[in-house]
Amino acid sequence: MKKITFKTLALICITLGISTFASSKEKAHWDYKGAQGPEKWGSLNHEWQACADGSKQSPIDLKWKKPKSDRTISFHYKSSPFKVLDNGHTVQANFMEGNYVKIKGQRFDLLQLHFHAHSEHSIGKKFYPLEMHLVHKNAEGKLAVVGVMFQEGAENHELEKIFAHVPSKQNHEKAVETNLDFNGLVPSVKTHYHYMGSLTTPPCSEGVNWNVFNTAVSASAKQLAAFKKMYSANYRPIQNLNGRLPANY
């Protein structure tokens, strides 16, 4: 059996939304408020220094610009089995291999999706009640995240498949008998913002390829309230652009 290195384990933890270890004996803890909130993340673990002094951090405010046409995202998603996890910071759905996107021809495989309320990114300084992140990784281990905004409207049947199967205990996965149809979670209009940023949770690693749709998907008031009952403020505040100019495609 191939030996799993600490570096490999850390990458797995990052992509699954789990914090890395501060030492071999003690697990570092972070939160969205108080002494372990976003303003303190950089001081909680020396490996999380980017949270305090990184220059390309996420999320950011996205400003409307006329769409370009020289960048495309092609989605290669299929109806898929999945497992739901409450990892203590958000609700997450994990997937086996088979779903991927191509960004400028480069393949990124889907690992998981998870949610933040309210939205982490803002568009023209407007926040949405819920934001979903679809986390992907390429063969080199680089990450690409697709962000989807939800606004109050009709019930979302695919979203319900996830929220209705959240395990009663944290850090326990629950397999769902029905498959997930991504067509109900991704907008048909693919206009999006692109910029290079970071993970929005510790260790706040940079080099993340961000792609955020500017067309929202609907979710019912009941569904939005159900998530907020579990996680009412699991978002990182807006970060400085530091000279970045996100493009609209």
Whether residue 203 has a cis bond before it, omega within 30° of 0: yes
Which tokens is 104 given? 């400028």
DSSP 8-state assignment for residue 80:
B
Contact 119, 235 (CB under 8 A): yes
Q: Are the CB atoms for 47 and 230 separated by under 8 Å?
A: no
Catalytic residue (choose from 46, 89, 118, 194): 89
Q: 243 Cβ partners below 8 Å, 6+ apart?
A: none
What count of other Cβ atoms lies within 10 Å of the Cβ of residue 83? Answer: 17
Active site residue 89: yes
Annotated catalytic sites, by residue?
Answer: 89
